[in-house]
Amino acid sequence: MSAMTCFAPLLILLSHSSATPPSAERPAPPADSVCLSEILIRTPQPDDAAQIAAAQLKADGAREAIRQGARFEDVAKKYSDGPSAGLGGALGLFRRGQLAKSLEDKVFSMKVGDVSDVIRTKQGFTILKVVECGGVTGDFELLGGTQGIDFGPYVQGISKTIEANWYRQIPFTETKTGEVTIEFAITTDGQLTNMRLVASSGDEFLDRAALGGLTQSNPFPPLPSQYTGAPLALRLHFHYNPDKSSLN
């Protein structure tokens, strides 16, 4: 499992003229998906009894440290043998069917923030944490006049739909980084129009996932009935594995 992609995607709505920002609430990932972090203690020689015992002792110690109040991310950086150790164990989003059935049943019964007991796997001993998936972050602005209408609730609602459809399009075979910027408009009856790629990530698959998040969300709900202007224009930034500098 540790070979899976370590995606930490973020979706941000931005543009030129100011509108009321949405609440800080993060949208949920698709119902058939879960975001995980991992602490992995490897057993390269699975039949070596001494190695297995030492690995389990190390894993039990890591789990106990978390019970005593240590941050999962700090313990992962210190103890984990997995490739995501430097990221605090972050593995990203998994859909049903991507994990072994025993792991799937366990993590899909957990809540955000829950940490599993030590689990024996083919790779060694693992501890899993269900984490919050990357969501809508920051303020948004509209690319045109609003006729004094508060579009905050409307855009917050459609962003949840876009993000859910975007997650389903993201390729999970490699760890990639990049940013995609797309402009589009929504007609009064909710139809997607005037969509264009403003800035490419340089990766066809990441661009395609972002575009798919929009096209799969079409049609959107109709715009508020009080609005009688031109199609509502928006700009979106899709971030894959962003670091702090890219978000700033």
CATH number of the domain bearing residue 169? 3.30.1150
Domain of 100, in residue numbers: 33-131
Strands (E), the chain: 10-14, 17-18, 33-42, 90-95, 119-120, 124-131, 141-142, 178-186, 192-199, 232-240
* HEC assignment per residue over 31-92: CCEEEEEEEEEECCCCCCHHHHHHHHHHHHHHHHHHHCCCCHHHHHHHHCCCCCHHHCCEEE
Residue 4 domain flag = no
Note the pLDDT of residue 96: 83
Say if residue 156 is in the same domain as residue 234. yes
pTM above 0.85, yes or no: no
Peptide bond before residue 219 is cis, with ω within 30 degrees of 0: yes
Of residues 91, 109, 113, 102, the one with CA closest to residue 8:
91
Note the pLDDT of residue 126: 95
214 membership: H or E segment, kind and range = helix 204-215
Say if residue 70 is in the same domain as residue 144. no
Whole-number Cα distances in Å, 21 to 126, 137, 150, 173, 180: 40, 10, 9, 35, 21
Say if residue 19 is in the same domain as residue 140. yes
List the end-to-end C-alpha distance of the chain, in Å, as a whole number.
Answer: 32
Residue 70's CATH number: 3.10.50.40
Note the pLDDT of residue 24: 36
Regions in the chain scoring below 70 on pLDDT: 1-31, 87, 133-142, 171-176, 241-248
Phi/psi for 168 (5° steps) reads -70, -20
Residue 78 domain flag = yes
Q: Look at the chain and report how many structural domains it folds into.
A: 2
Q: Give the β-pairing of 124-131 and 141-142.
A: unpaired
Of residues 168, 174, 176, 4, the one with CA closest to residue 89:
4
Say if residue 238 is in the same domain as residue 204. yes
Quote the CA–CA distance of 166 and 51 in Å, as a whole number.
42
Say how many CA atoms lie within 13 Å of 97 toward its Cβ. 2
Residue 54 domain flag = yes
Say if residue 46 is in the same domain as residue 68. yes
Query: Which residues make Cβ contacts (< 8 Å) with residue 151, sequence separation at least 6?
Result: 19, 20, 142, 224, 232
Say if residue 116 is in the same domain as residue 88. yes
Note the pLDDT of residue 76: 92
Note the pLDDT of residue 107: 93
Note the pLDDT of residue 242: 58
Say how many CA atoms lie within 13 Å of 146 toward its Cβ. 16
Note the pLDDT of residue 176: 66
For 46-69, write each residue's pLDDT tens digit: 788 999 999 999 999 999 999 999
